[in-house]
Amino acid sequence: MLPLSGRRNSQWDRSPSSARTPLRHGRAHSHLRMGARCSRAQHPIFALQSQRASDAHLPAADAWRSTEPDSRMRLRTACCKCFRFQSTSAICDFIFLSLIWCFWTAMLPVVVVHGGAGHIPKERAELATIGVKEAARTGYVILEKGGSAMDAVVEAVAVMENNPRFNAGRGSVLNVKGEVEMDAMVMDGRNLASGAVSAVRRIANPVYLARLVMEKTKHLCLTAEGASKFARSMGVPEVLEESLITDYAKMRWKKNLEPDANPVECQMGKMGTVGAVAVDKDGNIACATSTGGMINKMEGRVGDTPCVGCGGYADNNIGAVSPTGHGEAIMKVTLSRLILFHMEQGKTAEEASDLALTYMKERVDGLGGVVVVDPKGTWTARFSSLQMVWAAAQQGELHYGVYRDENVVEPVQENI
Amino acid sequence: MLPLSGRRNSQWDRSPSSARTPLRHGRAHSHLRMGARCSRAQHPIFALQSQRASDAHLPAADAWRSTEPDSRMRLRTACCKCFRFQSTSAICDFIFLSLIWCFWTAMLPVVVVHGGAGHIPKERAELATIGVKEAARTGYVILEKGGSAMDAVVEAVAVMENNPRFNAGRGSVLNVKGEVEMDAMVMDGRNLASGAVSAVRRIANPVYLARLVMEKTKHLCLTAEGASKFARSMGVPEVLEESLITDYAKMRWKKNLEPDANPVECQMGKMGTVGAVAVDKDGNIACATSTGGMINKMEGRVGDTPCVGCGGYADNNIGAVSPTGHGEAIMKVTLSRLILFHMEQGKTAEEASDLALTYMKERVDGLGGVVVVDPKGTWTARFSSLQMVWAAAQQGELHYGVYRDENVVEPVQENI
């Protein structure tokens, strides 16, 4: 598969320092540049990483942690040898591991959010940008205070659900009957635990309910009236449906019911699904996604969002993805899991996203976008649609954009 | 990842002729054994296969078909050269391509079905075996008459839905309220089209409704009351809930509500999800899965079945999977897509199934089973649970089994 023509070099999709990319393979030794470096393929730690990561879904850090002490000693010694620096003392061992840990965690924590992909009128894009910045800042503050990735993504998504500019929670698009039916999911990369709700009504924050499904039931997904009953049993307040419906959503619904409505234009102007991915200071990864779905959808339509592997996926060993776009196309190619499979095969988050988005476009004619993180904190926001509203917070900086090549950077503090 | 200990060689999982396995890489030239064969890796057709299959999700046949005429000529000439047989005449070209086609399609059509994995009492296993044989035979008759893979899997699953011995359609397990809520999905490997229903009630054959969602709507999944309304609009008759509930299901429901019910024993004795995968004479692939879910599940619980990539996946370029077992675990690892990803990386259907089932057991402590086909008609039925009821029909033979190492073979005709 080829990347989207002209996109790889033109679209912003990475945290600012280009030095981050080589860390994928070169980070463990970047603190020892005074010595001649052994070839990456030959070096024992990379051989170990490569073998263990591909065989057992383990990235380098886990490969190192899960290695037996004897093997660690041999590896360390081998590494030292290749830098013409021989020592087996406990102090050197400590320093060596500490340096690896410091470089490993330098880019953590990180949170990346999106507020939907599609064709967004300029005035709405500006308001949505303010919204995603607020969401990313909310998640980042939680992470900086030592909160978990799960806390960060859930709160970031809840901020967007509460913002009527987004198609999730308040502001959701209406189904063909003029009602609000929402989907949401969360996934915890530590143990692949997940929770989701589909076609749920009269809930202000479906993402909270999805988290409760994960934490309080033995199931992964509850739907429709069953989900509402569970919400009641958990004391989640039911809200009036009118409180979720905005004038804009009503206007679009009515317009799209007109006999001469254009089915293509029908989906324009809506903000898509909202979502977030994050890695916390402990290296734990999580994702969350929430949506009101497709404008004028059939009653009971379930999109990609509550479907594990389609509307999101998180695995501490690989990374996390939250997508947005044409839900049915995303489901057909299991977009989130597809991106992570490419990353398991050695692609960067950016390359994997481009491969998967290109495949989705070519195979099922679907457009969309994704935010992605890997365990090291490398992140990307890629889209094959015209626009995607996104924001990311890392190392005290807030990045955001809507259009191709757009990456505005400012200190996170400005927004606090 | 390692295969399940002791399973790879002990469990039956492939059509009888061991000669089938090498076809993965050696088939295109197996008719020309009179000459010295070039090395597989060096041979141009395999280089082409390898490059195209990995780059663009294309198997060898598609790679050959999609190759430009000039390249085909060069390839054919190169193949002829390496067999010390030079000719560029149209007749040789025709014979060469015909032989490839003959060998390619020799194992088609094929259908493989399962009637659930788990711990099944002997008397129920025997009745279920009769059921899966009937389902496989039904699918095979359709395929032999030139029917599509989609027709075959849908009708095979419908046979099991109508059989009260299976946990799908009539015979579904009951939720905690003593009601029947069913999930089903179908997927067409030609274009990745899919249809699903979740938590649907009072429908005799949810698999038919899932197919209607695929064919008659722009959506992939409808849930609960929305799915029922769609069924009514399509003229699908609503049945009395009592007609779907068997005495056995009622007995298990009541037993599991008792205060001293054992949650592990609770799931025993149920027959799991039913499913089917098939490749038709044209090489098209499809899958279908249907289930009543988990015994005494919460109202509105949705399992893996209607979730694309979890409860099934079909892609003409890779193969098809229908799983059964612990739905929540299947979702966490996106079992169906995971198996097909392994197959894309060059694993056989059997190896890929073992890798994925082992991963599911180790990572999320989940047991289950799968039936899998690839585009050449190679099939497998693998399980990490104690038992799985399965049957397969290919080349006039019917295979079936329940326990490890069991593979009974008889002519399909005996059953017609």
- Pairwise pLDDT comparison (B268 vs B183), residue with the higher score: B183
How does pLDDT run across A201-239, given as a tens digit for each residue? 999 999 999 999 999 999 999 999 999 999 999 999 999
Which pair of tokens denotes residue A126?
């500006």
Mean pLDDT of A322-347: 97
Q: Kindly report which listed range (A186-190, A291-295, B259-263, B320-324) carries the lowest average pLDDT score.
A: B259-263
Q: Closest approach of chain B CAs to the CA of A327, in angstroms? A: 9
Q: Is the pLDDT of residue A45 over 50?
A: no
Q: Find the mean pLDDT for residues B279-288.
A: 98
Backbone angles phi and psi of A199, in degrees to 5: 50, 40
Instruction: Check B225 against A313: CB less than 8 A apart.
Output: no
- Helix ranges (DSSP H) in A145-183: 149-161
Count CB pairs under 8 A between chains A and B: 163
Nearest CA in chain B to A339: B341
Report residue B120's pLDDT band, with 50, 70 and 90 as the boundaries.
confident
CA distances from residue A32 to A79, A96, A99, B158 in whole angstroms, order as listed: 10, 10, 10, 64
Mean pLDDT within B326-343: 97
Q: Considering only the beta carbons, identify the residue of B56, B299, B310 that sits closest to A308.
A: B310
- Whether B230 and chain A come into contact, CB under 8 Å, resolves to yes
Tell if the CB–CB gap between A226 and B224 is shorter than 8 Å: yes
Q: How confident is the model at residue A94 (pLDDT cuts 50, 70, 90)?
A: confident
- What percent of chain B stands above pLDDT 70? 74
| Tens digit of each residue's pLDDT (9 = 90 or more) over B77-110 | 554 454 554 555 777 777 777 776 666 667 999 9
Contact partners, residue B332, CB within 8 Å, separation at least 6: A192, A193, A194, A220, A308, B360, B363, B364, B366
pLDDT score of B237 more than 50: yes
Confidence of residue A132 (pLDDT cuts 50, 70, 90): very high
The answer to whether A302 contacts B363, with C-beta atoms less than 8 Å apart, is no
Does residue A58 carry a pLDDT above 70?
A: no
- Could you please report the per-residue DSSP string of B229-267? HHHHHTTPPP--HHHH--HHHHHHHHHHHSTT--HHHHH
Q: Which of A182, A220, A359 to mutate to test the interface with B (most CBs of B within 10 A)?
A: A220
Q: Distance between CA atoms of A200 and A202, rounded to whole angstroms?
A: 7
B216 and chain A: CB distance < 8 Å anywhere? no
Nearest to A328 among B219, B225, B309 (CB): B219
User: What is the 8-class DSSP label of residue A316?
Assistant: T
Q: Give the angle A40-A41-A42 at the CA atoms, nearest 5°.
A: 95
Is A332–B192 a contact, with Cβ atoms under 8 angstroms apart? yes
Q: pLDDT value at position B345? A: 96
pLDDT of residue B13: 41
A124 falls in which pLDDT band (50, 70, 90)? confident
CA distances, A376 to each of A130, A411, B209 (Å): 27, 21, 45
Q: What is the DSSP letter of A288?
A: E
CA distance B227 to B222: 5
Mean pLDDT of chain B: 82
pLDDT bucket at B124, cuts 50 / 70 / 90: confident
B332 to chain A nearest CA, in Å? 6
The 10 Å Cβ neighbour count of residue A5 is 8
Instruction: Kindly indicate the confidence band of residue B414, based on its pLDDT and cuts at 50, 70 and 90.
Output: low
pLDDT over 90, % of chain B:
66
Mean pLDDT of A160-177: 96
- Averaged pLDDT for residues A375-391: 96
More confident: A76 or B281: B281
* Contact assignment for B225 to A300 by CB distance below 8 Å: yes
pLDDT at B17 > cutoff 50: no
Q: Which of A217, A230, A299 sits opposite B229 (nearest CB)?
A: A299
Range 244-263 of A in CB contact (< 8 A) with B: none
Three-state SS sequence of A356-394 = HHHHHHHHHCCCEEEEEECCCCCEEEEECCCEEEEEEEE
Cβ contact A124:A395 at 8 Å: no
Inform me whether the pLDDT recorded for A51 exceeds 80: no
CA B382 to chain centre: 11
Residue A225 confidence (pLDDT):
97
Distance CA B206, CA B246 (A): 17
Shortest CA distance from A345: residue in chain B: B345
Query: Chain A contacts of B181, Cβ < 8 Å?
Result: 226
Closest residue of chain B to A313, computed from CA coordinates: B332
3-state SS assignment for residue A122: helix
| A398 three-class SS | strand
B16 — pLDDT class (breaks 50, 70, 90): very low
Q: How many other C-beta atoms are found inside a 10 Å radius of the C-beta of residue B211?
A: 27
Q: Give the C-alpha separation, A28 to A102, whole Å.
A: 10
Phi then psi dihedrals of residue B383, to 5 deg = -155, 145
Which residue in the set A222, A229, A334 is minimally distant from B309, CB to CB?
A334
- CB–CB of B334 and A328 under 8 A? no
**Which two three-digit tokens encode residue A19?**
């030095």
Q: What pLDDT does B270 receive?
A: 58
Give one DSSP letter per residue of A56-113, joined into a string.
HS--HHHHHHTS-HHHHHHHHHHHHHHTT-----HHHHHHHHHHHHHHHHTT-SEEEE
The alpha carbon of residue A19 is apart from the nearest alpha carbon of chain B, in Å, by 28
Q: Cβ A309–B313 below 8 Å, yes or no?
A: no
Interface of B with A in 254-313 (CB under 8 A): 294, 297-303, 306-310, 313
**pTM of the full structure:** 0.80
For B299, the 3-state DSSP assignment is: coil
Distance between B298 CA and the closest CA of chain A, angstroms: 8
Token pair 């004479």 is found at B281
B273 is catalytic: yes
A222/B300 Cβ within 8 A: yes
Please identify among residues 35-64 of chain A the ones whose CB lies closer than 8 Å to any CB of chain B.
55-57
Q: CB burial class (10 A; 0-12, 13-18, 19+) of residue A176?
A: middle
Task: Using an 8 Å CB-CB cutoff, list chain A residues near B224.
Answer: 199, 223-226, 300
For residues A316 and B120, the model is more confident at: A316
| CA-closest candidate to residue A135, choices A158, A168, A117 | A158
Residue A346 tokens read as 């050695």
* Residue A277 three-state SS: strand
Question: What pLDDT score does B262 carry?
Answer: 64
In this predicted structure, the answer to whether residue A8 has a pLDDT above a threshold of 50 is no
Nearest C-alpha in A relative to B326: A219
Which residues 367-406 of A are in CB contact (within 8 Å) with B?
none
Q: What percent of chain A has pLDDT over 90?
A: 66
For residue B192, which residues of chain A lie inside 8 Å, CB to CB?
Answer: 332-333, 363-364
A226, A328, A332: residue with CB nearest B298:
A226
Asked if B211 and B155 touch (Cβ cutoff 8 Å), the reply is no
Q: Which amino acid is at A165?
A: R
The alpha carbon of residue B373 is apart from the nearest alpha carbon of chain A, in Å, by: 19
Catalytic residue among B273, B305, B324, B334: B273
pLDDT at A260: 75
User: What's the gap in Å between the CA of B334 and the closest CA on chain A?
Assistant: 6
CB interface of A with B, residues 183-212, below 8 Å: 191-194, 198-199
* Cα B255 from chain centroid (whole Å): 33
Residue B122's pLDDT band, with cuts at 50, 70 and 90, is: confident
| Range in A28-37, A63-72, A97-106, A344-353 with the lowest mean pLDDT | A28-37
Q: For all residues of chain A together, what is the average pLDDT?
A: 82
More confident residue, B56 or A153: A153
Supply the pLDDT for residue B74: 56
Nearest CA in chain A to B332: A192
Does B231 contact A at CB distance below 8 Å? no
**B84 vs A: CB within 8 A:** no
Can you give the pLDDT at residue B338? Answer: 98
> What is the set of domains in chain A, with CATH numbers?
5-105 (no CATH), 110-411 (3.60.20.30)
- The average pLDDT across B378-395 equals 96
Give the residue, A12 or B84, on which the prediction is more confident.
B84
Q: What is the pLDDT of residue A297?
A: 95
pLDDT of residue A67: 47
A179-216 b/e with 16+ CB inside 10 Å = b? bbbbbbbbbbbbebbbbbbbbbbbbbbbbbbbbbbbee
Kindly indicate the confidence band of residue A70, based on its pLDDT and cuts at 50, 70 and 90: low
Q: Is the pLDDT of residue B4 over 90?
A: no
Residue in B302, B313, B315 to test binding to A, most A beta-carbons within 10 Å: B302
For residues B385, B387, B389, B391, the Cα torsion angle rounded to the nearest 10 degrees is 90
**Residue contact A230–B55, C-beta within 8 A:** no
pLDDT band at A270 (very low <50, low <70, confident <90, very high): low
**Which pLDDT score, from 0 to 100, does residue A104 have?**
66
Distance CA A353, CA A356 (A): 5
Looking at residue B23, its pLDDT comes to: 28
- Residues forming a β-bridge with B186: B195, B288
What is the mean predicted confidence (pLDDT) over A17-22? 33
Place of tokens 């946990």: B167
d(CA A412, CA B176): 49
Instruction: Kindly report, residue by residue over B187-235, the tens digit of the pLDDT.
Output: 999 999 999 999 999 999 999 999 999 999 999 999 999 999 999 999 9
Which residues in chain B touch residue A227, judged by CB atoms under 8 angstroms apart? 300
**What's the rounded mean pLDDT across residues B319-345?**
97
Question: What would you measure as the largest C-alpha separation in chain A, in angstroms?
Answer: 80
Cα–Cα–Cα angle for B366, B372, B374, nearest 5°?
Answer: 145
Is the model's pLDDT at B62 over the cut of 90?
no
